[in-house]
Structure 1
Amino acid sequence: MSSAPERRLRADRARQAADVIRRQVVQRSYPDGVLPDERFLAAEFSASRNTIREALALLREEGLIERVPGVGTVVVTEKCVHGLDRLMGLAETLHEQGEVTNDIRAAGPIRPPSSVARRLRLADGEPVVYVERLRRLDGLPLSLDLTYLPVDVGAPLLAQDLRNHDIFSLIEQTSGQRLGAADVALEAVNADLHSATVLEVPRGAALLVVERLSHFADGRPVDLEFIRLRGDRLTMRAVLDRRD
Structure 2
Amino acid sequence: MRLVRTPSTGPGAANESGRPERLRSERARRLADRIRQDVLGGRFAAGALPDEHHLVTEYGASRNAVREALRLLAAEGLLVRRPGFGTRVAAQKFAHSLDRLAGLAETLNHRGGITNEVRSLTWQAAAPDVARRLDVDPGTTVLYLERLRTLDGEPLSVDCSHLTADIGAELVTMDLGSRDVFELIELIVGMPLGVSEVAVHAVNAESDVADVLGLAARDAVFTVDRLTRLADGRPVDLETLHIRGDRMSFTSVLHRSPGPGAPPSHSVG
CA distance in 2, matches of 1:149, 1:96: 28
Q: What value does the CA root-mean-square deviation take over the aligned residues?
A: 1.8
CA distance in 1, matches of 2:170, 2:90: 42
The offset of 1:68, in angstroms, is 4.2
Partner residue in 2 for 1:238: 252
Q: Specify every segment of 5 or more residues in structure 1 that has no aligned partner in the other structure, as ranges.
A: none
Partner residue in 2 for 1:99: 113
Higher relative contact order (CA 8 A, sep 6+): 1
TM-score for the superposition, normalised by structure 1: 0.93
- Indicate which of 139, 158, 179 corresponds to 1:125: 139
Partner residue in 2 for 1:46: 60
CA distance in 2, matches of 1:100, 1:31: 21
1:185-196 matches, within 5 Å, as 185-196=199-210
CA distance in 1, matches of 2:58, 2:172: 55
Identical residues among aligned pairs (%):
48
Change (3 A) 1:161 1:236: same
CA distance in 1, matches of 2:22, 2:62: 12
Rg: which structure is higher?
Answer: 2
- Given the alignment of the two structures, is residue 226 of structure 1 paired with residue 240 of structure 2, yes or no? yes
- Given the alignment of the two structures, is residue 201 of structure 1 paired with residue 247 of structure 2, yes or no? no
- Given the alignment of the two structures, is residue 72 of structure 1 paired with residue 83 of structure 2, yes or no? no
- Indicate which of 146, 161, 176 corresponds to 2:190: 176
**1:2-53 per-position Cα deviation (integer Å, ceiling 9, x unaligned):** xxx9996111111111111112212221252221221222223322101100
Partner residue in 2 for 1:134: 148
Partner residue in 2 for 1:63: 77
- Indicate which of 24, 27, 34 corresponds to 2:41: 27
- Given the alignment of the two structures, is residue 18 of structure 1 paired with residue 26 of structure 2, yes or no? no
Q: 1:127 touches 1:151 (CA, 8 Å); kept in 2? A: yes
Q: Specify every segment of 5 or more residues in structure 2 that has no aligned partner in the other structure, as ranges.
A: 1-18, 259-269
TM-score for the superposition, normalised by structure 2: 0.84
The offset of 1:76, in angstroms, is 2.6
CA distance in 2, matches of 1:185, 1:142: 19
Describe the SS at the equivalent of 2:138: coil
Could you tell which deviates more after superposition, 157-166 or 26-35? 26-35
CA distance in 1, matches of 2:187, 2:45: 42
CA distance in 2, matches of 1:120, 1:216: 12
Moved over 6 A (4+): 5-8
Q: Which amino acid counterpart does residue 152 of structure 2 have in structure 1?
A: D
**1:154-204 per-position Cα deviation (integer Å, ceiling 9, x unaligned):** 110101110100000000012213201111111111111111111110001
Describe the SS at the equivalent of 1:198: helix
CA distance in 1, matches of 2:39, 2:26: 20
Describe the SS at the equivalent of 1:195: helix
CA distance in 1, matches of 2:226, 2:197: 6
CA distance in 2, matches of 1:92, 1:67: 33
The offset of 1:67, in angstroms, is 2.9
Change (3 A) 1:180 1:25: same
Q: Which amino acid counterpart does residue 97 of structure 1 have in structure 2?
A: R
Q: 1:196 touches 1:202 (CA, 8 Å); kept in 2? A: yes
Q: Which amino acid counterpart does residue 200 of structure 1 have in structure 2?
A: G
Partner residue in 2 for 1:154: 168
Describe the SS at the equivalent of 1:86: coil
Q: Which amino acid counterpart does residue 29 of structure 1 have in structure 2?
A: R
